[in-house]
Structure 1
Amino acid sequence: MDLDAELIALATQEDLPAELVWRLLGHPGARHQVALFRRDLTEEMIEGIIALGSTRTLAANGHVPPRLRIRFVEHPEPAVRSAVAASIRDEPPGTLARLADDPDQSVRWFLTLNDHLPPDLLARLAADPDSAVRSSVVSRWRDAPDAVRRALLTDTDPDVRRSSVRSYVPQADLLPGLLADPATRAAAVRHVVPTEGLATDPDSDVREAVAAHPDLPTGLRDQLAEDPDIFVRNAIAARSDTPAALRERVVATLEPDSELAEWMLSFNRGNHVCPPAAPPPPRLSLDEAEALLTRAGR
């Protein structure tokens, strides 16, 4: 581990004396880690981090006391307001509503990631003028009420409609329209009974969705095992009810044209291998931490 990496690792070590934390602030990478992760920042350290230009990183630290963190909600830079919006609590009351009304789209988007949002603010963001904000609400609010789900499933933006069909069970009266919509047809397949028409759809994404359907008839399964699209065939190979002999035959036809395609295919079949996690950095004694900072000229 090089010197910079050692300082960055030291920055998040617990129970460091304040004097060592102060010295770490002089190293840009270590300062970033201190500002983002440390739970023991004093008010003086917070002011020092701001003075050194790491306000945006500090704003994302949920361990900064609310009475100090509220200042970031009013910061002139949208990036700082975005950083705080993702995790701040409603302290004082009205803080989250203020962020929901922020004029900058990125702030409202980051607010959708906040686990402390009440249903009324989620509903407001579900009707946000920006489609990226509405789409983010879909991915975060899986138990949205019926009226909100209906609005999102029929949204004017195709990406919002597509993500909504993937996240919610559509109301029965909406299914015909969702199946007729090119943007949502593939995602809507899992909510209907597979048919020959869907299994021969010109869109390979639709056929892949049919191939993954939990109630796929045996005849359609065998038919899709011969599909010209590699991802459709891979979906058949990934099924738990595909006979071993058929699976082996299908896998033998899967010849990806890139490492990415190979990874995607193996991921869908559940036989990909993730690299091992990096070992945690060694914990330094106070003498070792002191020596490291001295060696780094801090």
Structure 2
Amino acid sequence: MDLDAELSALAVQRDLPAELVRRLLRHPQARRSAALLRRDLTEELIADIIRLGSARSLAANASVPAHVRAHLAEHPEPTVRAAVAASVEDEPPGLWARLATDQDPTVRAFLAMNEHLSHELLAVLAADPEPYVRSSVVQYGRQAPEPVRRALLTDPDPDVRRTAATVYAPPPDLLPALLADPETRSLAVRHADPSPELAADPDSGVRRAVADHPNLPAELRNRLARDPDIHVRNTIAARPDTPAPLRESLIATAATDDPLTEWVLSFKRSAHTCPPRSPAPPDLTREQAEELLVRAGL
């Protein structure tokens, strides 16, 4: 571990004496780590962090006292206000409403990430004039009430509609319109019954969605196995209910000279897991911490 990483790890070590934390604040990377992750920051340390220029990291720390975060919600830098908006509670009352009308759309979009928001505030953000903000409501307000979901599924902006169709299961009465909309058709397929018409759709994305449908009949599966699009055929090959001989035949015809396409195809057919996290470094004793700080000139 290099020196910067060692200092950052020490900056978030539990039960570290305040005087050592204060010395670490002189190191930019360690200061940002302490500002973001420490839960025991004193008023004095908070003031030092702000003075030294790490207000943005501090604003994202949900353990910082409410009055400090409310103060940071008035910061002149939009990135600081946005960091506050993403997780702050409505303390003092009216803080959310003020952030929901912030002049910078990034702040309003980050407010949409806030899991504490009321349904009323989600509805306000779902009607925001900026499509980017409305898309954030979709991405982070997954438990939005039905009126909000309906509004976003029928949003005038195609990007918002696509995002909403990716996240929300549509009410049955909206499904025909979503299937008729070129922007949402392939995403709505999974909520419809597979049909020969959908399996023959001119849009390969629609046919690929049909090929991935959990209730795909064997007749349509075999038809899509002959699809001219390599990704549609590969989706059939990836299905657990595809007979082994058909799967092997499809894989044999999925060869490509493009390494990226080959990786995408093989990824679809394989099970991938993330590697385990690296173990956290061991805590340092007071003596070891002092030695590290001296080595860093702090």
Secondary structure of the 2:198 match is: helix
The Cα of 1:130 is off from its aligned counterpart by: 0.9
The gaps in structure 2 that reach 5 residues or longer are none
Contact between 1:60 and 1:86, CA under 8 Å: does it hold in 2?
yes
1:281 paired residue number: 281
The equivalences for 1:30-179 within 5 A come to 30-179=30-179
TM-aligned CA deviation for residue 262 of structure 1: 4.5
Amino acid at match of 1:83: A
What is the aligned-residue identity percentage?
63
Displacement of 1:257: 5.2
> How do 1:240-255 and structure 2 match up within 5 A?
240-255=240-255
AA at the equivalent of 1:142: R
Structure 1 pair 94/260, CA: closer, same or farther in 2 (3 Å)?
farther
CA gap of 1:31–1:261, structure 2 versus 1, over 3 A, is: farther
Q: CA deviation at 1:11?
A: 1.2
Q: Match of 2:14?
A: 14
Letter of the 2:179 counterpart? L
1:265–1:13 CA distance, 2 compared to 1 (3 A): farther
Give the Å deviation of 1:267: 4.0
Displacement of 1:273: 4.7
What does residue 5 of structure 1 align with?
A: 5
Contact preservation (8 Å) 2:211, 2:236 = yes
Mapped partners of 2:154, 2:126: distance in 1: 12
Amino acid at match of 2:4: D
| Aligned amino acid, residue 67 of structure 2 | R
Q: What secondary structure is seen at the aligned counterpart in 2 of 1:208?
A: helix
Contact 1:81–1:107, Cα closer than 8 Å, also in 2: yes
1:39 deviates by: 0.6
User: 3-state SS of the aligned residue for 1:223?
Assistant: helix
Cα distance in 1 for partners of 2:273, 2:62 equals 34
Relative to structure 1, is the Cα distance of residues 65 and 271 closer, same or farther in structure 2, using a 3 angstrom cutoff?
same
- Match of 2:208, as an amino acid? E
Shift in alpha-carbon separation, 1:276–1:169, aligned structure 2, 3 A:
closer
Q: How many aligned positions are there?
A: 298
CA RMSD in angstroms, aligned pairs only: 1.8
1:230-277 CA distance string (max 9 Å, x none): 322222122222222222222333335555544543443342253442
Q: In the alignment, residue 106 of structure 2 is paired with which amino acid?
A: S
Give, as a single letter, the amino acid of the residue that structure 1 aligns with 2:176: P
Task: Work out the CA distance in 2 between the residues paired with 1:5 and 1:297.
Answer: 15
The reply to whether residue 217 of structure 1 matches residue 217 of structure 2 is yes
- Equivalent-residue separation in structure 1 for 2:132 and 2:266 (angstroms): 30
More divergent stretch after superposition (105-114 vs 8-17) = 8-17
TM superposition shift of 1:203: 1.4
Deviates more, 1:96-105 or 1:231-240: 231-240
**Matched letter for residue 119 of structure 1:** H
Farther-moved stretch of structure 1 (99-108 vs 222-231): 222-231
Larger CA deviation: 149-158 vs 108-117: 149-158
Between 244-253 and 184-193, report the one with greater CA deviation. Answer: 244-253
